[in-house]
Structure 1
Amino acid sequence: MTTTAAQDTRRLLAWLGAGLLAGGMPVHEVEEDVQEAAAALGHEGIEVAASPTGLWVALTSGDAATFEGVDGGVRLDQLAEVTAVHTALTSGLLDPDDALARLAVLRQHPHRYPAYGLPLGLFLIGTGVALVLAPAWSSVIFAALLSQVVAGLMMLSGRSLLVGTLMPFLAAFASAFAAFGAAELGLVDAPLWTLVPPIAVLLPGALIVTGLTELSAGSMVAGTSRLAYGATQLLLATLGVGAAVAALGVPLSRINGERPDELGLWAPLLGLLFIAVGISLLESVPPSLVPALLVTILATVVAQELGRATGQGAWLGAFLGACAASLVATLVEFVRPRVPRVVAFLPSFWLLVPGSLGLVSVAQIESSPAAGVVAAAEVLVIVVAIALGVIVGAGLARPLRDVARRLDPVRRRVARQLAERPARRPRKPRGREESAQ
């Protein structure tokens, strides 16, 4: 292989891995997918080392390496494009040059709902989380209103580095200030639970569980760094709540873990539908794929509730829910090849992860240290159970993925359709070539 061809191959694999990392996938899964793509291109012994912020790729040990950094996150529709390129490459139906061209313009894909996707998506997600987490009319109305404040902050964060850095603090402060202020006027009950739904999309629960998953899989550096970053984000949100409490002079008796429950069984069911549609609007997912996301979310919640019904504790429900999310996402991909498993899995994962419970538990420490510490320990057990469930579910789903890749003609047809699409003009390469010797 010539030097130029080797550079292009490394760049392709590096861009592929960076796209998967930007979608939030654990580093050990990214390394496996990059190695699989490399094997399809005729490079069995590649060296790849991934971290949450980038990865190195070398075609052989001691050879030159290419580094590609992760330049922010990607939407679910963009992540679906990356996984589709991976599928077409491993199926031998996409030319490497065309794959490189598609990955080059990945971030240029326009949002499917540019005008209303963010505000309406956050409105539905906030309202849906309130229906699931704090089912009371006052909490639902509060979430609907404050979600637009969070939407405004998110729009502003794209223009201001300071706002982007302090986003968890600012959003939590705004939501807590409004919740405790409304509680003083008698408009809201259980303000500590009420303030969570509008800022649920900003809480780092999924990040923390992904870090634990990576640690369990042996990716020590990546897992530790994700945990540290997630803990910092949660601390910023907690400080925002504390700053609002101090600014209003709220009595500590108001900071309690009493959860409202005024609405019937219909509330969480409607909330799940709102969350699925809201995520689709926020993440630019086509409407035709919403039913697939909803199926995975429902299966996750049903498994979670069955585990809780056994009386063994919330940890069993969290474990079973995580297993169901992995398995059903794989089955959804088998039936609907246009829905990559990671795209079907992530919304269920976000709903399953108790980032909101972590914020409530940490905030309780200020008013009742003993109760807060106990609640935080319970959340830690749930997070570990979710991480183990993700690992077990992924292990159980692996044979299904292998069968789907070998036997599913529909999946190959989708890959062929992708391969036949005209490629767009690639961007200027950002990979850096560096000698490993």
Structure 2
Amino acid sequence: MTESGAEASRGRRTGPLWWGRPRSAVLDVTLGVVSAVECAAEGVPFAAETGIPVVLAMLLGVVAGGSLVLRRRYPIAVVLVAVAVMPAQMGFVLGTVGLYTLSATDVPRRIIALLAGMMIVGGFVVSYLSFLPGGSEDDVPGPWWFLLLLAALLAVVVTLPPVLLGLYVGARRRLVDALRERADGLQRELSLLAERAEERAEWARGEERTRIAREMHDVVAHRVSLMVVHAAAVQAVALKDPAKASKNAALVGDMGRQALTELRTMLGVLRAHEEDGGASGGGARAAGERPLERVARFAAAAAERDARLREEGAEGPRLGELEQLVGQSRAAGMAVELSVEGEVRTYAPVVERTAFRVVQEALTNVHKHAAGARTRVRLAHRGAEVAVQVENAAPAAGVVGAGLPSGGNGLVGMRERVTALGGGFVSGPTAAGGFRVSAVIPERPR
């Protein structure tokens, strides 16, 4: 590939014809004019020595020297022209610049070596003959080998520097091109990585919204269900037993305050996530932002989000609060029994929170669909897992549910919670007409 070809391959071809840039065309035309003038001037003594017309010799020099304009397009042809006019002792600029251009291109090294060797041999012969006074070795003062050595040294000194300089410039140009291509590839990879990071951040925000919505459903649905049950009890005993009605009213107030507190917490977290999402989305589209900066920003946002999730998980409910949860259902009139099997120990916050929410949602469903049914809650500590089971008996005949609305997402949310940690979840009716919910969660979530 010639120099102009390399420039065109880099997408910067703006000059005329085969030149990549206008300044390259100006440089080559200038060198061609200089070479043509030199060869034309050297054609005068050549015409005197050979007896050809001076005009013809000068015209030959102009054509030969002007061929240097084609050095980027046909570097081999330019060097061959320089070799051809060497016996006429013309074309110094033509040969020097031609060898440099040839060596700087992607021409195979054997061709460069061959043409450089031809230039050295031609230069040696021409120099040696020019040293012979009268054209005979008998007229040479001193040893003949000295002239041979001097001619060879002169030929090498004139030929090798442009060849070596061209090889260096060509190698440097190829290295720069390779580095530029590698940088462009890295830029594309970073852009793709930034896009994937943005997609992943959007997916993570969606997952967080789903998780928060699930938390709000579990917390609010359970509290409100108990409040409705207690409110019905207050209505039933308000005239018969004012003391019990007052107690149930106090329980309703406590549960309402707890529900409001947890709801405010959930909404605060959701608002923080929304602000992060808006800032992340706007920053990704900021003008002038580099892909590497986008990747770093999304990575930092992901790390901050993970840290916040860990903090939220540490503040969630624990298995040790199951007794209190069951006690609230008992206070609402449910006949519920809690049994614990195995050696009691602690687990990761997300594991304990998930097990707690499964029991909470299952008790909420009993309040909704099987009010008054006897219920049993089992918690089993096993080797590398924890298991919970909530099973209620069939509701008594003629007993109507609490009339609470159901969105149909309770069992789905429980299954999603458990399977996200690599556990198993099973739910369904029992042979006795009741309903059973079972979950097994590994000690170390995936």
Confirm or deny a common fold (TM above 0.5): no
Which has the bigger relative contact order, CA under 8 A and spacing at least 6?
Answer: 1
Question: Which interval holds the TM-score relative to the shorter structure?
Answer: under 0.3
- TM-score (ref. length: structure 1): 0.24
